[in-house]
Structure formats: structure tokens, C-alpha cells
Amino acid sequence: MEENFIFAGFGGQGVLLAGKILANAFMLEGKNVTWYPCYGAEMRGGTVNCEIVVSNSEVSAVHKKETDFAIVLNQLSFDKFISRVKAGGTIIANSSLVKTLKPRSDIKYVFAPITEMAQKLGEIKTANIISLGVLAAACHQLTSESLQKALEFVLPAHRKHLLPLNLEALKLGVESLAAV
Amino acid sequence: MVKELIKGNYAIAQAALNAGCECYFGYPITPQTEIGEYLSLKMPAAGLAYVSAESEVAAINMVLGACSTGARAMTTSSSCAVSLMQETLSYAASDELPVVLVNVMRAGPGLGSIYPAQGDYYQSVYGGGNGDYRMVVFAPSNVQECIELTYKTFYVAHKYRTPVILLADGLLGQMMEPAEFTEYPYPPVDNSSWALSGANGREGRKICSYGPDEQKHIQHVKDLFEKYKLISEREVMFEEFMTDDAEFLLVGFGSLTRNLKAAVKSLRNKGIKAGMFRPITLFPFPEKRLFELAGQCREVMTVEMNMGQMYTDVRLAVNGKTKVSLFNPRPAGEWLSVEEITAAVEKSMEKVYAGI
């Protein structure tokens, strides 16, 4: 059984790192997982995405046409990836930058004002971590505990002082969905 | 040992260090630049030689020079830039030097694009340099194999004194996957009989691919091919997946074979007896085993991200024993999906059973 996740947004929003933390969370749970980035010859402000596949056996295709979850942090990514969500799948969108429209009726929508939440927290760069929290609340496969472990695991020693802020961001994300 | 989530490119770089790589010479090119980036951090700090060369031609010739002293040296590059290195690979084969080259393939021909592709099968296996020579080629399919086959690449290069290529692709280089740095498992290789280590206290030596003596030259080439024969007998590697009772065999190499395995599982669920065969060494090609398997199969389908290159070797190996087909709808870009491969097999199976 394989499950697919796509993280997408502007370069600089931290979607590759969010995907890396998600992949580490699955690895620490003992699952097979792959992370595959996709970006053109672009810099900050261009679009970027990564794809995570988690599996109980060896991961087959690293890059798939359809996905169970799409986490999109800007409008461009919403427009691009909504067609790749499987019927019955979920799109999580950053409603600070994405219109809350529902062009398909066969998928689930989660809208959360991720950028605004990050600004309120005092650090816009935590938007990617907040989005992971929202995902944890929307995805049964994933617990916020395993994401916390992954965060601790991924942060290098000289960045450990940022852990409390990021754990707070994760918590905000999880709770935002409960509030909806 | 704990597993860590690591990029294929970084895995290759660290594995080279574990294998005792003393010198790295390279020039950046997507999608393998992270290898040089990683080594540029690690090697100078460890007192090892890291050189950003002025070109790929310079890089591979620096490797040639370092190898002539018996050092463990490596360069890494990608497709169009590997083309620039072909002359030196021919020299390395003739000079019998353990040159290690990693090619993380992108699309060609020419400058091509940075999309992953498998278009350098011919370049790697048949070579782009002049004269009669072969190169050993290892093709990993996941990040763990990037580590293990980098180890093997160094060992085989030094054991047989021959250039060896690790042939990865852009997908493998860029993706991350949990992998474990097992210990380098091979014994040290004694090079004291040939390395140019300074002639103080012994007679001078030279390493030279030019021989004006016709008979000596002929013998030299024959000796090289005796060595390749030995490598073919000893170093063949392949993977089989559900081949025991397979009637339909998918053959592929590299990271694409992950999708082939998933297609086999999907076909088995539909009652089709499919199996997969993956050459891990592209040279020496596992022709004996493929010939055996062909005997039990209605069809052997080669699946590649190129216009049909390994297809040549598959047909030679199967040698008319059963039908050989090719599924290669595009030569670069998005890897063939499990659904595309499954559909192609089902379509082909219908023809086989209808006797067409």
C-alpha cells in the first residue's frame, strides 16, 4: 500500500524542507519512503514542488501521476496540482494566497490561512511547518508526534534554538483544523 | 548502523570517501553537482585532494594522472560532459588505470536537458573512445545501491586495473531515500608492482598506451580482452523479481526498474505471469541468465527511457529464443508510469496469445 504527497509553492516558502521533514517522520516510523524534488532553472519566487511516497514495502514509482494529498501554498500550485489529486483525495491550500474555490466535487478541501498564521506567530518562514501541522490533522497515516520527532532529528545542532518556535508552529497547524 | 534520509548524489559522495577515495577532480553540471559540493566540504578538511577543474577534459585527465600513481581517484559528471571525457577513457583502458567515473544521466543528445533519461547506455557500455576496449558499468536502482555499487566500482577498478563507470540518472541523483552506510567490504588491492610511486631504489617504470611494436601491440589488446573475459566470468550482477514461473519478462536497468517491479505485481494481481530481470552490470551483460529465462517466456519486453539501446544487448542475449519487444514511448522526462507499463504488457500479451 503506497500513499503519495505533493508539497508545492513558491521557491523560498520551504516546501522542499517540509517534504523532507515529512519523509523523515515516515522513516523514523520504520516505513519505506522517497522524496523527489521538481524544479526548473529557477530561483526564489519560482515554483517548486516535491513528491513523497510512503510504502510498507519498497517504494515503486518515485514520481506518480496521481496523489492522495496535495499541500499547496500559492495559487499557481493550486491551479497546477488540483487535477493530480486522486478522486477521494485531499487538497490542503494556503487560503492566505489561494482563492477558496472548489472546482472539483470528488475531492476534499482543507483551507487554512497558513501565511497569516505564520505572520501572527511572528515568523513568516514557519508557514511550511504550519502546513505540516495541518496535514497531520487531515491525514490518518500521520501523527504530530512523529513530525515533532522528525523536526528534532532534522534540525542541525547550530539550529536547535529554533526548535521551540517550530514546535509551536506545528501545534498551530494541527489546532487550526480542529477549529474549522 | 542507522538509516538516514539521503540524496543519491550525497550517498555516492560519502560512499566514495568510505571506499578510500583520495582525490576528486570535477566540474559542476546538473544533475550531479551535489557530489562535488559534498566532497568540497569533506575532502580538504580530511587532508584529501579536491580540485575544481577548469573543464571536464582537465578533470578526467587529472584522474588519469592520479591513478597512474596508484591513488584512488574519481570524477563525476553528466551525459554531455561525459562525452568530453571519452578520449581519456580509451587511454585509461589501454594504460590499465583504475579510473572511476560516475555519470548521473540527463537527457541528450547534445546539451539536451536536465530531465532524467537513460540515453547513455551505448556511450557507457560500448564507449565513445577509439579502439578496442570495454568498460565495466554498474547501474544502481535505489539510494542504497548507490552506496554499495560505489564501493564495488572502486574495488573492481583497482582489482582489474580498468576504468569503471557508475551509471546513475537524474532521478536517482536528486531523490532522497533512507539508506545505510554499510562498511566498505572489500580488501585493499596491492598496486606496488605497477604504480608510479617514485623510482628511488628500484628500476624506472612507465605507463604508456603507445607501442610502435606491432606484435606487442596486438598482444596488448588481446591481453586486455582476456581481462574483460575474466571480468565477464566473475563480476556479472543482476536482479530477478518473480521470474520463477514468469511467462512474460520485463527487462530494464537503473531506477526505472522500481516501476517495472510495481508493474509486475500489478500484472500478477490480474493473473498474468510476469517477471522482471534487471542487469546490474551493463557490462558484463548477464547474457547467460537472460538466455535461460528467455526459454520459459512467451515474450521478453525491454523497457527503457531512450530510443532502444539496451534492447540491442537483450536481443543478442535472447538470440532468437523467444520474441523480444521494446517499450520506449519517450526518451527523457517523466519516468514511465506503472500504469503505462502494465497497459503495454497487457496489449502485447493479447497479441502473443492470439498468435500474432
Rounded Cα–Cα distance for residues A29 and B142 (Å): 20
For residues B104 and B227, state if they share a domain.
Answer: yes
For residue B176, which residues of chain A lie inside 8 Å, CB to CB? Answer: 20, 23, 34-36
Same domain, B161 and B266: no
Q: What is the DSSP letter of A140?
A: T
Are residues B284 and B144 both part of a single domain? no
Mention every residue, 6+ apart, whose C-beta is less than 8 A from residue B99: B60, B63, B64, B67, B73, B88, B89, B92, B157, B163, B164
Nearest-CA neighbor of B148 among B96, B185, B121? Answer: B185
Domain that holds residue B304: 239-353
Nearest to B334 among A33, A60, A63 (CB): A63
Q: Determine, yes or no, domain membership for B303.
A: yes
Angle (nearest 5°) at CA A96 between A93 and A97: 75
Specify the length of chain B in residues.
Answer: 356
Give the CA-trace dihedral at B1, B4, B9, B13, to 10 degrees.
Answer: -30
Determine, yes or no, domain membership for B55.
yes
Quick: pLDDT tens for A132-163. 999 999 998 899 999 999 999 999 999 999 99
Secondary structure (DSSP) of A14-68: -HHHHHHHHHHHHHHTT-EEEEEEEE-S--TTSEEEEEEEEESS----SS-S-EE
What CATH number should be reported for the domain holding residue B341?
3.40.50.920
Going by C-alpha positions, the residue among A41, A171, A55 that lies closest to residue A117 is: A171
Q: Among B29, B34, B143, B175, which would you mutate to test the A interface (most chain A Cβ atoms within 10 Å of its Cβ)?
A: B175
Q: Is the pLDDT of residue B277 over 60?
A: yes
Do the domain assignments include residue B13?
A: yes
Contact B178 A27 (CB under 8 A): yes
ipTM: 0.91
B194 within some domain: no
Cβ neighbours for B215, distance < 8 A, ≥ 6 positions apart: none
Is B200 a domain residue? no
Please compute the mean of the pLDDT values over residues A26-54 and round it to a whole number. 87
Same structural domain, B39 and B119: yes
* Among the ranges given (A31-45, A75-89, B293-307), the one the predictor scored with the smallest mean pLDDT: A31-45
Q: Is the per-residue pLDDT at A41 higher than 80?
A: no
Contact between chains at A36 and B337 (C-beta distance less than 8 A): no
Nearest residue to A88 via CA among A71, A69, A75, A103: A69
DSSP-assigned states of every residue in A101-130: ----SSSEEEEE-HHHHHHHHT-GGGHHHH
Inter-chain CB pairs, A–B, below 8 Å = 54
Backbone phi, then psi, for B91, in 5-degree steps?
Answer: -65, -45
The answer on B59 and B176 residing in a single domain is yes
Chain A residue numbers touching B258 (CB-CB < 8 A): 58-62
Whether B197 is in a domain gets the answer: no
Residue B325 host element (H or E):
strand B323-327
Residue B80 and residue B87: Cα distance in Å, rounded?
14
**Short-list A14, A136, A20, CA closest to A74:** A14
Q: Is B196 on the interface with A (CB under 8 A)?
A: no
Same domain, B311 and B182: no
Q: A55: closest CA among A19, A3, A90?
A: A3
Judged against a pLDDT cut of 60, whether residue B246 lies above it is answered with yes
Residue B30 lies in a domain: yes
Cell output for A64: 506518480
Q: Do B214 and B243 sit in the same domain of this protein?
A: no
Q: Which of A:101-140 have CB within 8 Å of B? A: none
- B314 and B169 housed in the same domain: no
Domain co-membership, B13 together with B155:
yes
For residue B196, tell me if it sits in a domain: no
Q: What is the pLDDT of residue A179?
A: 58
pLDDT at B340 over 70: yes
What is the pTM (predicted TM-score) of this model?
0.95
Q: Would the CB atoms of B337 and A58 count as touching at under 8 Å?
A: no
Residues B125 and B151 in one domain: yes
Split into its structural domains, chain B has a count of 2
Instruction: Let me know whether B290 and B346 are in one domain.
Output: yes
CATH number for position B26: 3.40.50.970
pLDDT band at B351 (very low <50, low <70, confident <90, very high): confident
Among chain B residues, CA nearest to A27: B178
Q: Are residues B24 and B134 in the same domain?
A: yes
Q: How far apart are CA B260 and CA B251, in angstroms?
A: 8
